[in-house]
Structure 1
Amino acid sequence: MKEQIPVGMNRTGVQMSPLETSSMQSGMPTSMIPATPGDDSALAEMRSSYIVNAEPVGSVPVPGTVRGAITTGASMLIGDHPQLLFDKLGERLAFERTGTRLYDALITKFEATQDDTTSMTLADLQKIRQDEARHFAIIADAIDTLGGDPTSQTPCADLVGVEAMGLMQAVTDPRTTIAQSLHAILIAEMTDNAGWEMLIALAEDQSQHGLISDFSVALDEERVHLQQVRTWLEEATLGTAVSDGALVDDIGDATPPQMH
């Protein structure tokens, strides 16, 4: 069954009020009309003044342990940039925490709505939620192993926290459907995959080979998550659901699954 989208008195478009729209446009002062449509040079100029005078988002904290200080100092002496690795580890830690909370919210919505537009099950969601929590623990252990503090918030950790706010709002909004929530989850999963790929490349660059094995396992699991979420979203949007090895559309016709 396809997702049901209501049709109602949506008054957000200008076509709903043509007379008022004409009056609004004709009454606009000439000084407020850009010489070129879409010209945002004034806004860009204002933003530029803030950019050149802005302080950084934050900083990577000095290691709080002797082991961490020695490790970081030695890396800097040979030309590595351990602060970059710590920043990206902090980023992944923050994002995996958000991922866990996103699935907590989706589980709640799935149980409340008893949605049947996809082949998604409660067990599927709980499995992914457990994976996200375990990935969080993997990163926390890695930071601790390198002598860092998993509880500190690095600049990139702060950034992804801000980025993820909209995703959390989308999934926790009681008005959004399962399909709409899955769209937000898909954005998170795509970002998660790219983040793990970057972290593995950075660990290789910094010769932290002991971290790569666990990180690679996490990346493989995230790739599975991404494919699952993409499939569920397509099912909800196109009105197909997997049943007994076949694709079943919303009028009950069964067709063999296509190979990709």
Structure 2
Amino acid sequence: MQDKISMGLNRTGLKASPLIADELLEQFDLQDDVPAPAIDVHALRRAYREDAEPVGSVPPPASLKGVFGAAKEALSGNRMHVLLDKLGERLAYERAGVRLYEAMLDKIVDAPDLPPGLTIQALREIRDDEAAHFALLSDAIERLGGDPTTQTPCADVTGVQGLGLLQAMTDPRTTTAQGLQTLLAAERIDTVSWELLVSLVDGFGHDDLASEFSRAYARELEHEERVRGWLAAAVNERAFGEPEPKSS
């Protein structure tokens, strides 16, 4: 498999410039005699937090069914808007997941060789699962009387978090193995978040959603395991020139 990573003229480490490194470390020693900065960074950040507006809000139910459902939950002490916020989060993440796998497909389309097991068809299957999970979540929000087109606070935050993953994937310098590492990070977040969502809908007593979401969670676990296997094979091939030995 073609490997873009090789030994070269990398001078980012201290040991590459020992004389200058010694001078730099001497400056650190001198810092002990320098008075503390006048600005209290922790106090400054606390002031920003106190003045900050919330990331967003969850709108009221978009239908009479939603209004009655939220009122019923409120009588039991449950907060339906928390569930809708987390559903909106997963909806946004699954949409981003489709885009992430599309970017990975684009990355490997011209790759001369791929790690064992990794194929365009296998990636497309996972991408299609992500799209199916997006549709499942959209339908679930509708069934609870919400609006799936709303960007909830948690959806907003997860969108920002996912930007780094997409940037790493679409960077033309990153390799297939680095793309797989990015997918594995995304899948790990996804599996843990689906596990939490299953527990949440179960707590609200939505047995039908809990069953459907449990199946989606099982599929996400499969995604994570497959990507982990591809990554292990890719790294082993780069390091030793052969795929990872299969465990007995």
Query: Deviation digits for residues 12-49 of structure 1, max 9, x if unmatched?
Result: 2233334444445556796797789xxxx943332222
Whole-Å separation in 2 of the counterparts to 1:49 and 1:227: 44
Q: Work out the percentage of aligned pairs sharing the same amino acid.
A: 42
Q: CA RMSD in A?
A: 2.8
Alignment correspondent of 2:175 = 177
State the TM-score, normalized to the length of structure 1. Answer: 0.85
Aligned residue number for residue 231 of structure 2: 233
Taking the aligned partners of 2:2 and 2:112, their CA distance within structure 1 comes to 14
Aligned match of 2:9? 9
Where 1:113 maps in the other structure, the secondary structure is coil
Q: How far, CA to CA, are the matches of 2:157 and 2:56 in structure 1?
A: 10
Q: CA deviation at 1:209?
A: 1.2
Check whether the contact 2:180–2:231 (CA below 8 A) recurs between aligned residues. Answer: yes
Q: Does residue 95 of structure 1 match 2:86?
A: no
Task: Count the aligned residue pairs.
Answer: 246
Alpha carbons of structure 1 residues 98 and 33: separation in structure 2 relative to 1, 3 Å: farther
Question: CA offset at residue 54 of structure 1?
Answer: 2.3
Which residue in 2 is equivalent to 1:142? 140
* CA deviation map 1:203-242 (0-9, x unaligned): 01111112112111111111110000000000001129xx
1:250 partnered with 2:241: yes
Secondary structure at 2:11's aligned position in 1?
coil
Asked whether the equivalents of residues 2 and 236 of structure 1 are also in contact (C-alpha less than 8 Å), the reply is: no
> Do 1:3 and 1:236's aligned partners in 2 also have CA atoms closer than 8 Å?
no
CA deviation string 1:81-101 (max 9, x = no partner): 101100110010011011111
1:88/1:156 contact within 8 Å kept: yes
Which letter does structure 2 place at the counterpart of 1:181? G
Q: Which amino acid aligns with 1:8?
A: G
Checking the alignment, whether the CA contact within 8 Å between 2:58 and 2:84 is kept in structure 1 is yes
Structure 1 residue 2 displacement after superposition:
8.4
Q: Distance in 2 between matches of 1:158 and 1:56?
A: 11
- In structure 1, what is the Cα distance between the partners aligned to 2:61 and 2:93? 22
Tell me, yes or no, if the aligned pair for 1:2 and 1:237 is still in contact at 8 Å. no
Alignment of 1:15-54 (within 5 A): 15-24=15-24, 42-54=40-52
Aligned residue number for residue 80 of structure 2: 82
Distance, in Å, in 2 between the alignment partners of 1:169 and 1:163 is: 11
User: What is the match of residue 246 of structure 1?
Assistant: none
Which of the two has greater helix per residue? 2
Which of residues 150, 153, 166 in structure 2 aligns to 1:152? 150
Kept after mapping to 2: 8 A contact 1:89/1:139: yes
The separation in 1 between residues aligned to 2:35 and 2:204, in whole angstroms, is 51
RCO higher in structure (CA 8 A, sep ≥6): 1
The residue type paired with residue 258 of structure 1 is S
Mapped to 1, the partners of 2:166 and 2:40 lie a distance apart of: 33
- TM-superposed deviation, 1:8: 1.5
Gaps of 5+ in 2: none
CA distance in 1, matches of 2:29, 2:206: 61
| 1:250 alignment partner AA | G
TM-aligned CA deviation for residue 4 of structure 1: 5.3
Once residues 15 and 42 of structure 2 are traced to their aligned partners in structure 1, the CA distance between those partners, rounded to angstroms, is: 30
Deviates more, 1:110-119 or 1:21-30: 21-30
Q: Could you say what secondary structure the match of 1:239 adopts?
A: helix
Distance 1:44 1:32, change over 3 A: farther
Asked if 2 retains the 8 angstrom alpha-carbon contact of 1:179 and 1:233, the reply is: yes
Distance 2:77 2:204 in 1: 10
What does residue range 91-240 of structure 1 map to in structure 2 within 5 Å?
A: 91-239=89-237
Gap runs ≥5 in structure 1? 241-248
